[in-house]
Amino acid sequence: MSIGIVGLGYVGLPLAVAFGEAGHDVVGVDVDARKVAALRGGESYVEDVSSDRLRALDGRFGATTRYAELAGAEAIVIAVPTPLTENREPDLGPLLDSARAVAGVLQAGQLVVLESTTYPGTTREQLVPLLEESGLGAGRDFHVAYSPERVDPGRRDFTLRTTAKVVGGLTDACRERAVDLYGRVCDTLVPVSSPEAAELSKLLENIFRSVNIALVNELAMLTDRMGIDIWEVVDAAATKPYGFMRFDPGPGMGGHCLPVDPFYLAWRAREFDMTTEFVELAGRINQQMPYHCVARIERALNDQAKAVRASKIALLGVSYKAGVGDTRESPALKIASLLGGLGADVRYHDPYVPELRDLGLRNEPLDDVLDGADLAVIVTAHPDIDHHAVATRVPALLDLRGVTRRPAPVRA
């Protein structure tokens, strides 16, 4: 099969490679000429796709900035960003741009699938009308479906193949074609009755995480005042074999998805005279967390009779999650900037993040950031760092991820 992928980022590139590895011919389109040049040179910029895997595709994957090369594809998958505007409203700019560009090359018989996370109604109300500017009719001359991506960067236990994939088509035939497409790289398909159901299922998954993270973060702020160890509480609750799902507290919520996607639904709900209270509340609590962390840092320094100003603070891990270099919406950025504003001497070690340009900081070797530090703060606990050893090297350690706490009691 010949498959086109629009948007070669965290979602699009692994998908392109998966189709290529399954023996299909893939052409990837991206507006970022630097990314296209890197891919053409056999270099991957996404952690989950090694450059070796890319090179092994041996001619079955081509990257380009030209949409015209999609004309020969049987299926076109769109995986462009869906960010928020400064007013925290959906920014469909990249999606609409890519839809217009696809419409310009659309051929009768093609299948177009949207994968970008978005509010229910986007595929039918935004994507389809633009594609139909081609003069072709959706569901008649070409097929349209929505299938959300569930990739979790850095995760090894579930892959694209072993993670069930939800698919909703504009018509039954649209859905069947999309099921056939993804059946080539996924073991389990979950067909649903409409693109709207598929769109909302993705938002439900992300809102579920956001709300549960906020719940445990709120408890973490409370237990901090009460003098109770939140990790002990979570460990204990997690021994219940049913009706409880573990979520761990942390410095806040980061990444491209959880701090952003729920607000797509909140925005859409307003059109239906509804306020999505859970979404707003979870967002508020999670946004407070970096401030709570800075208050804890102030206290940890105060215990040593030190002020934040001029104290040497070593931040360990600045990406939004362990094992990846993605710093989008990472709470570490807020923490570093608040501490900088208070006059602290902030340095960081993160083997995955070479620099934080906006903050004027660069990754430094672990030994260098710990030498002379007044306080080390574990913001993101990357693997391969011996955090217990770190604890012995600094006058004070604040562990925001609970990795240095005593091990949970073993089962009797």
Ligand X SMILES: NC(=O)c1ccc[n+]([C@@H]2O[C@H](COP(=O)([O-])OP(=O)(O)OC[C@H]3O[C@@H](n4cnc5c(N)ncnc54)[C@H](O)[C@@H]3O)[C@@H](O)[C@H]2O)c1
Candidates 25, 30, 218, 374: give the one binding ligand X (CB under 6 A). Answer: 30
Candidates 4, 20, 28, 81: give the one binding ligand X (CB under 6 A). Answer: 81
Catalytic-residue membership of 186: no
User: Where does this chain touch ligand X (CB under 6 A) — which range of 25-33, 122-130, 270-278, 371-379?
Assistant: 25-33
Comparing CA positions, the residue from 91, 54, 62 lying closest to residue 2 is: 62
Binding of ligand X by 168 (CB under 6 A): no
Total residues at interface with ligand X (CB under 6 A): 27
Longest dimension (CA), the chain: 73
Pick between residue 80 and residue 105 the one whose CB is nearest to ligand X: 80
- Shortest approach of ligand X to residue 45 CB, angstroms? 9
| Closest residue to bound ligand X by CB | 9
Q: Which residue has the tokens 């707003």?
A: 280
Point out the catalytic residue in the list 174, 186, 257, 293.
Answer: 257
User: Three-state DSSP class for 324?
Assistant: coil
Binding of ligand X by 64 (CB under 6 A): no
Binding of ligand X by 256 (CB under 6 A): yes
Would you say 12 and 147 are in contact if contact means Cβ atoms under 8 Å apart? no
Binding of ligand X by 9 (CB under 6 A): yes
Candidates 79, 127, 181, 234: give the one binding ligand X (CB under 6 A). Answer: 79
Candidates 5, 6, 63, 214: give the one binding ligand X (CB under 6 A). Answer: 6
Pick between residue 97 and residue 364 the one whose CB is nearest to ligand X: 97
Candidates 25, 26, 35, 353: give the one binding ligand X (CB under 6 A). Answer: 35
HSE-CB for 41 with a 13 A CA cutoff: 9
Binding of ligand X by 29 (CB under 6 A): yes
User: Where does this chain touch ligand X (CB under 6 A) — which range of 27-35, 69-77, 163-171, 290-298?
Assistant: 27-35
What residues form DSSP beta bridges with 41? none
Binding of ligand X by 344 (CB under 6 A): no
Beta-strand (E) ranges in 213-320? 312-316
Chain length of the chain? 412
- Shortest approach of ligand X to residue 65 CB, angstroms? 8
Binding of ligand X by 32 (CB under 6 A): yes
Strand 75-78 vs strand 2-6: parallel, antiparallel, or unpaired? parallel
Binding of ligand X by 300 (CB under 6 A): no
Element at 349 (helix H, strand E): strand 345-349
Q: Which long-range contacts (CB under 8 A, 24 or more apart) does 2-5 make?
A: 2/26, 2/27, 2/72, 2/73, 2/74, 3/27, 3/73, 3/74, 3/75, 3/76, 3/77, 3/181, 4/28, 4/29, 4/69, 4/70, 4/73, 4/75, 4/76, 4/77, 5/29, 5/76, 5/77, 5/79
Q: How far apart are CA 344 and CA 80, in angstroms?
A: 38
Q: Which residue has the tokens 């002990």?
A: 232
User: Where does this chain touch ligand X (CB under 6 A) — which range of 24-32, 246-254, 358-366, 389-397?
Assistant: 24-32
Candidates 8, 63, 73, 308: give the one binding ligand X (CB under 6 A). Answer: 8
Candidates 21, 74, 91, 97: give the one binding ligand X (CB under 6 A). Answer: 97
Would you say 182 and 165 are in contact if contact means Cβ atoms under 8 Å apart? yes
Pick between residue 119 and residue 231 the one whose CB is nearest to ligand X: 119
Residues with a catalytic annotation lie at 257
Q: Where do contacts with ligand X occur on this chain (CB under 6 A)?
A: 6-12, 29-32, 35, 79-82, 94, 97-98, 115-117, 149, 151, 153, 256-257
